[in-house]
Amino acid sequence: MTQRPVVQMKGISKYFPGVKALDDVSVDIYPGEVHVLIGENGAGKSTLSKILMGIYTASSGEILVDGQQVNISSPSVARAHGIGGVHQEFMLVPWLNVAQNIFLNREPRWKNTFLINHSAMHRQSRELLSSLGVDIDTRLPIRRLGTAQQQMVEIAKALEQKLRVFILDEPTAVLSAREVELLFKQVRRMKEEGVAIVYISHRLQEIREIGDRVTVLRDGKHVTTCPLSEVTDDELVRLMVGRNISLMYPRHRREPGAEVLAVANLCVKNGPQNINLKVHSGEIVGIAGLVGSGRTELARAVFGIDPIEKGEVRLYGQPVKPQSPNQMVKRGMGLLPEDRKQYGLALRNSVAQNTVMASLRQRFPKGIISERKIHELAGTYVEKLHIATPHVRRTVGYLSGGNQQKVVLAKWLDTESGFLIFDEPTRGIDVGAKVEVHTLMDQLVQQGTGILMISSDLPEVLGMSDRIYVMYEGRIVGHFTHEEATQEKVASLMLRVGVKGNGRAQRTAG
Amino acid sequence: MVELKGRQVSLGSIPPVIWMTLFLIVVYSIFAPGFLSGRNALNIAIQAAPLFVVSIGMTMIILTEGIDLSLGFVAGLAGVVTSLMLQAGHPVALAILGGLASGTLCGLVNGFLVSIASLPTFIATLGVGSVAYGIGLIATGGRSIPALQESFRFIFQGSVLGIRMPIVIALVVFGVTYVFMHFTAYGRNVVGLGGNPQALRTAGVNIELARLLVYVYGGLLAAVGGLMVAARTASGYAAAQEGWHFEAIAATVVGGTSFREGRGRIANTILGVLLISVLRNGLNIAGVHNMYQYGLIGVTVVTAIVLDVLFTKARDR
């Protein structure tokens, strides 16, 4: 690398109350490289990227842009230096339309006025989106879009800014394979134009495909920076976690027991149609499919969130009509939702309060709550699930993604439900936490729980499931046992490869 | 389905607030003689105008996920300030500026407390409203101050080219606000503050200033509304519009603006204001005592909101 780095971070530290998020981290970023940041959750990757973007300011250390020391005190300063990007939390305004969001605070004006030129804004937005290969109506409010589409709008918004340093913080967590491919095409194009790309991801495979150099962070400290070609996956994992962990899926297979859930001919309006499936005690049943294939909608209907149009549901052999989550929890069902921040946790409440959220009545049948008992109880889960938190009174919102997910898990463990739905249980959490979640799932089924697992991570579906259903456009299009299933078989059904479709597959993915 | 300008409009897509207004019009036409006339329609428009002006400010504040419980008292204070200045012999233009300035100042204090001092909007505006009311009472000794100058009354109540000034003022305020909301960065900020202020901040918007300005504008519009009423009653009185925050909030919410995520639009608030104004006017014509009116307005407003919630749910399904 003969060029001068576009950004140099020297000795960056960042303290939050009670936590040292970054400790003396130095990284140089060169133009025309994809610089990958990896590390476990809580390692400081997002904090580092937020400091670059001006969302946080560093407690100490300095940042140089083009060799000049700068003080990135706010996002607008960062942008003035050509630094920006996409973070994990969507920076979109729900009731503004797609074009307004893409051009947020950079709206094209009519000549010599302060009035926004809507037609130019929509035209340019359409061009940007089509360069990304997606077809979204720019007049729709963001609220009406799915998560993947919102992510594409975020990316379009960043592209529009013509950045010199483009930060992507786990951009692919919610995207389908096709959209990831489109994104990577853009990333490669930008790289050729000399843009420096900072890429944060947990997916090793993806990093291999796109990355040039890698910086590993662990517990807020810089571990190493080197070209990706010089490290193996196993080495990367070891550097990240500081110990050897197995990348294998920890499963102990057993004979399935009695039926816990049976769904027959289930239909949801504008959602899954004619669904038939069964889950038994002691087995993990996986559902594979693209984003938008109706998997989450199926889970929501069975859990009583969305109304069921027709069909039957049996829980522990008893027919039930799911009408509310409240009723289903009482009957012994739990759901770890896809979007844990919105549906899984009360982010401003403590770890302890979240842990007993679903089991309070069970724990205190008389209706009188003992704070001390709740804290003790939460303490046992913190220990058992290795939840990294200074104490159980800590606000859940301050924990890292993996630890938040463990708190959701603790909440359902405490209800002692015999049937749990896991919707994307390991999305956006690091390798170490992922293995821990998988181990827990295995322990649960050993004890006789039945699990229905929705996942977009194909190796996870294949590795963890005893049986696999494949969904496509709201229908179940395939069923495999663990022994029959291969990556090729499941993926080709998911994508309907070789089936002459009506073009809807593409739309679902876009 | 009805064909309208080539667009398919189903009857079910008409919001409930329109149905309720139509229902009231039919009922009043039968039971309140004199209700159904061109003159009364004009009357309703004139009576609705001040509330509409105030409700525009309220709608913008609610879009930012805030609320302003001071607007009624701020309006009252503006009427008092202008009346006192007229009484003291100041020129009309100066007296009007004084009234408007008092409202703007109250809005500035609201905005400062909410945006800079980060107080909950509820508490901040409740406090400012109480102070505004108190000042109005002290300044007037609790009496109503006459404001009889013809030119003052003409500006807020007269007519130009056969159109009554309250209607002109309401339309101008609406027009200006509409352009600001839809064609300027400021309007986009208002919607964004309610939806995702962090998104605005990362896009480089000074969100504190943007939030402050919404309250300033709300205070100014409250003063305009207060002066319209002062001109109609030819007097300034501190408690003249004490029920206005309720009516303005009700008009906003009935019009379909949500307290969350910046969902809604100022144009819809016209519908809410119309419902309340028609209801009021009909009750007055039918001779229903003021005592009963509060309860009936409350019931109507809550019914309209419940219907709107059910309607929105059914439509989004």
Residues A276, A403, single domain; the answer is no
Number of domains into which chain A is organized: 3
Reported as a pLDDT band with limits 50, 70 and 90, residue B59 is: very high
* CA torsion through residues A357, A358, A364, A367, sign: positive
- pLDDT of B257 > 80? The answer is yes
Cα–Cα distance for residue pair A491/A477, rounded to 1 Å: 12
Residues A188, A220, single domain; the answer is yes
Cα–Cα distance for residue pair B201/B208, rounded to 1 Å: 9
Residue at a domain's end among A389, A416, A443: A416
Structure tokens at B147: 């404001």
Quote the pLDDT of residue A501.
Answer: 37
Q: Quote the DSSP letter at residue B119.
A: -
Structural domain span for residue A128: 7-241
Q: Is residue A321 part of a domain?
A: yes
Please report, rounded to a whole number, the percentage of residues in chain B having pLDDT higher than 90. 55
Mean pLDDT (whole number) for B110-124 = 93
Locate all alpha helices (DSSP H) within chain B, ordered by sequence. 16-31, 38-63, 71-87, 92-111, 121-140, 150-157, 165-183, 185-195, 197-202, 207-233, 244-254, 266-285, 290-316
CA angle B125, B129, B135 (to 5 degrees): 145
Quote the pLDDT of residue A247.
Answer: 60
A89 to chain B, any CB pair closer than 8 A? The answer is yes
Q: What does the pLDDT look like over A168-204, one tens digit per residue?
A: 988 887 777 788 888 898 889 889 888 999 999 877 7
Across chain A, what does the average pLDDT equal? 87
Q: How far is CA B216 from CA A6, B60, B200, B224, in A?
A: 43, 11, 20, 13
Reported as a pLDDT band with limits 50, 70 and 90, residue A498 is: very low
Q: Cβ of A75 and B191 within 8 Å?
A: no
Residue at a domain's end among A241, A271, A305: A241
| Cβ proximity of A277 and A465 under 8 Å | no
Cα–Cα distance for residue pair B109/B100, rounded to 1 Å: 14
Q: Is residue A69 part of a domain?
A: yes
Nearest to B257, CA basis, from B48, B13, B64, B121: B64
Mean pLDDT (whole number) for A54-75 = 91
User: When comparing pLDDT for A395 and A246, which is higher?
Assistant: A395
Mean pLDDT (whole number) for B293-297 = 87
Q: Is residue A112 part of a domain?
A: yes
Residues A143, A224, single domain; the answer is yes
Q: Is residue A106 part of a domain?
A: yes
For helices B165-183 and B185-195, angle between their N-to-C axes, nearest 10 degrees: 70
Mean pLDDT (whole number) for B43-71 = 94
Q: Are strands A310-315 and A83-86 parallel, antiparallel or unpaired?
A: unpaired
Quote the pLDDT of residue B12.
Answer: 63
Mutate to test the interface with A, among B63, B196, B317 (most CBs of A within 10 A): B196
Residue A447: how many other CB atoms lie within 10 Å = 11
SS (H, E, C) A229-283: HHCCHHHHHHHHHCCCCCCCCCCCCCCCCCEEEEEEEEECCCCCCCEEEEEECCC
Q: Is residue A226 part of a domain?
A: yes
Cα–Cα distance for residue pair A203/A233, rounded to 1 Å: 11
Mean pLDDT (whole number) for A142-147 = 84
Q: How far is CA A63 from CA A23, A50, A142, B204, in A?
A: 15, 13, 35, 20
Cα–Cα distance for residue pair A13/A215, rounded to 1 Å: 16
Q: Distance between alpha carbon A68 and the CA centroid of its chain, in Å?
A: 36
End-to-end CA distance of chain B: 19
Residues A162, A288, single domain; the answer is no
Mutate to test the interface with B, among A105, A118, A143 (most CBs of B within 10 A): A105
Residues A185, A312, single domain; the answer is no
Residue A323, amino acid = Q
Looking up residue A236, the CATH number of its domain turns out to be: 3.40.50.300
Cα–Cα distance for residue pair A39/A44, rounded to 1 Å: 8
Q: Is residue A248 part of a domain?
A: no
Nearest to A463, CA basis, from A311, A304, A277, A247: A247
Nearest to B61, CA basis, from B286, B293, B288, B253: B253
Q: How far is CA B49 from CA A404, B17, B158, B172, in A?
A: 52, 18, 13, 11
Residues A63, A175, single domain; the answer is yes
Contacts with B, A 99-128, CB within 8 Å? 100-101, 104-107, 114-116, 118
Cα–Cα distance for residue pair A129/A98, rounded to 1 Å: 10
Nearest to A469, CA basis, from A216, A484, A477: A477
Q: What does the pLDDT look like over A301-339, one tens digit per residue?
A: 999 998 999 999 999 999 999 999 999 999 999 999 988
Phi and psi based region of residue A242 (left: phi greater than 0; alpha: psi -120 to 50; beta: remaining): left
A497 to chain B, any CB pair closer than 8 A? The answer is no
Contacts of A373 (CB under 8 A, 6+ apart): A363, A364
Most confident residue range from A103-107, A251-255, B132-136: B132-136
Nearest to B62, CA basis, from B220, B172, B191: B191
Residue at a domain's end among A372, A400, A416: A416
- pLDDT of A505 > 60? The answer is no
Residues A197, A152, single domain; the answer is yes
Range of lowest pLDDT (A212-226, A231-245, A388-402, A479-493): A231-245
Nearest to A450, CA basis, from A334, A344, A300: A334
Residues A231, A289, single domain; the answer is no
Nearest to A95 among B182, B185, B191 (CB): B191
Tokens 């003063």 identify what position? B223
Q: What does the pLDDT look like over B92-109, one tens digit per residue?
A: 999 999 999 999 999 999
- pLDDT of A361 > 90? The answer is no
A58 to chain B, any CB pair closer than 8 A? The answer is no
Judged by DSSP in three states, B190 sits in helix
Q: Is residue A99 part of a domain?
A: yes
Quote the pLDDT of residue A18.
Answer: 58
Q: What does the pLDDT look like over B195-213, one tens digit per residue?
A: 888 888 888 888 999 999 9
Tokens 């205190």 identify what position? A364
Q: Is residue A148 part of a domain?
A: yes
Quote the pLDDT of residue A509.
Answer: 34
Question: Using a CB-CB distance cutoff of 8 angstroms, which residues of chain A are in contact with residue B185?
Answer: 105, 107, 114, 116
Order of all β-strands in the sheet with A19-29: A19-29, A7-16, A60-65, A68-70
Count of residues making up chain A: 510
Closest-CA distance of chain A to residue B49, Å = 27
Cα–Cα distance for residue pair A10/A69, rounded to 1 Å: 10
Question: Using a CB-CB distance cutoff of 8 angstroms, which residues of chain B are in contact with residue A55?
Answer: 202
| Cβ proximity of A47 and A21 under 8 Å | yes
Judged by DSSP in three states, A498 sits in coil
| Cβ proximity of A197 and A189 under 8 Å | no
Closest-CA distance of chain A to residue B65, Å = 13
Residues A326, A184, single domain; the answer is no
Structure tokens at B4: 């309208």
Closest-CA distance of chain A to residue B254, Å = 18
Cα–Cα distance for residue pair A148/A154, rounded to 1 Å: 10
Closest alpha carbon within chain B to A77? B204
Residue A103, amino acid = F
Please report, rounded to a whole number, the percentage of residues in chain A having pLDDT higher than 70. 94
Structure tokens at A58: 């560093």
Reported as a pLDDT band with limits 50, 70 and 90, residue A103 is: very high
Residues A135, A92, single domain; the answer is yes
- pLDDT of A504 > 50? The answer is no
Reported as a pLDDT band with limits 50, 70 and 90, residue A503 is: very low
Tokens 């500035």 identify what position? B108
Residues A284, A223, single domain; the answer is no
State the DSSP string of B88-110. TT--HHHHHHHHHHHHHHHHHHH
Residues B3-18: b if buried by 16+ CB within 10 A, e if exposed: eeeeeeeeeeeebbbe
Mean pLDDT (whole number) for A405-421 = 92
Q: Cβ of A116 and B199 within 8 Å?
A: no
Residue contacts between A and B (CB atoms, under 8 Å): 75
User: When comparing pLDDT for A83 and B263, which is higher?
Assistant: A83
Range of lowest pLDDT (A67-76, A231-240, A342-351, A494-503): A494-503
Question: Using a CB-CB distance cutoff of 8 angstroms, which residues of chain B are in contact with residue A111?
Answer: none
Cα–Cα distance for residue pair A255/A251, rounded to 1 Å: 13
Burial class (CB in 10 A: 0-12, 13-18, 19+), B234: middle
Cα–Cα distance for residue pair A21/A49, rounded to 1 Å: 12
Question: Using a CB-CB distance cutoff of 8 angstroms, which residues of chain B are in contact with residue A92?
Answer: 196, 199
Q: What does the pLDDT look like over A119-138, one tens digit per residue?
A: 999 999 999 998 888 888 99
Bridge partners for A221 per DSSP:
A218
Question: Using a CB-CB distance cutoff of 8 angstroms, which residues of chain B are in contact with residue A107?
Answer: 185, 188
Structure tokens at A380: 């046992």
Instruction: Report the half-sphere exposure of A472 (CA within 13 A, side-chain side).
Output: 18
Nearest to B183 among A74, A115, A143 (CB): A115
Quote the pLDDT of residue A145.
Answer: 86
Q: Cβ of B184 and A115 within 8 Å?
A: yes
CA angle A479, A483, A488 (to 5 degrees): 65
Residue A265, amino acid = N
Quote the pLDDT of residue A502.
Answer: 37
Residues A314, A436, single domain; the answer is yes
Reported as a pLDDT band with limits 50, 70 and 90, residue A506 is: very low
Reported as a pLDDT band with limits 50, 70 and 90, residue A235 is: confident
Closest-CA distance of chain A to residue B13, Å = 18
Closest alpha carbon within chain B to A113? B184
Cα–Cα distance for residue pair A144/A443, rounded to 1 Å: 39
Contacts with B, A 129-148, CB within 8 Å? 143
Burial class (CB in 10 A: 0-12, 13-18, 19+), A212: middle
Question: Using a CB-CB distance cutoff of 8 angstroms, which residues of chain B are in contact with residue A91?
Answer: 196, 198-199, 202-203
Closest alpha carbon within chain B to A271? B317
Question: Using a CB-CB distance cutoff of 8 angstroms, which residues of chain B are in contact with residue A94?
Answer: 195-196, 261-263
Quote the pLDDT of residue A42.
Answer: 67
